Each structure stands twice: as C-alpha cells, then as structure tokens.
Amino acid sequence: MNRMRILGKSGDTEFRWDPTTGQGLRAAKLVFDEKTRSSRYLAFIEGPSGDGVRMIRQFDPDAESIILTPRLIGG
C-alpha cells in the first residue's frame, strides 16, 4: 500500500491506496488536489528508506510515499 501523509497543526493524517487495485486512490487524489490548490500545501515524494525528497505539483499514484506540508509563512 502506498501512502500520503498530511502534516498539520493538530497532528498528521494518513491516506493509503493500492496502486494495483485502485482502492483508496480516488480519495487520496482528491485530498491531494484540494490541499495543493492555491499553493496552501507543498507536496514531496520521499525516496525509498527516506533517501532523497523531491517536490511534486501533480499527484503520482505510483509514489510509495507522498508528504504534504503547509507552506511556511514569515520572513
């Protein structure tokens, strides 16, 4: 099962989906699109065993681990 973690003020939320059967995929994509719209959240794909991270702008159903984090505001 692939997963998407959403980091937030009140704790983290996790969504899981199975890329082979599509179970949970639609819900994960909808949440991804909602959170990243208007640049409220940034999305990253985490590499295997936490190796390397890269920013993404579109949902990748084959990604093993996606992390969504709110944008930091400040100066």
**pLDDT one-digit tens code per residue, 38-56:** 878 999 998 776 678 899 9
Condensed to tens digits (0 to 9), the pLDDT of residues 54-70 reads 999 999 999 999 999 99
Confidence of residue 9 (pLDDT cuts 50, 70, 90): confident
Give whole-number Cα distances, 17 to 7, 8, 21, 57, in Å. Answer: 18, 20, 9, 19
Domain boundaries, the chain: 2-70
| Encoded amino acid at 18, one letter | D
How much is the mean pLDDT over the chain?
A: 91
The arithmetic mean of pLDDT across residues 18-46, rounded, is 93
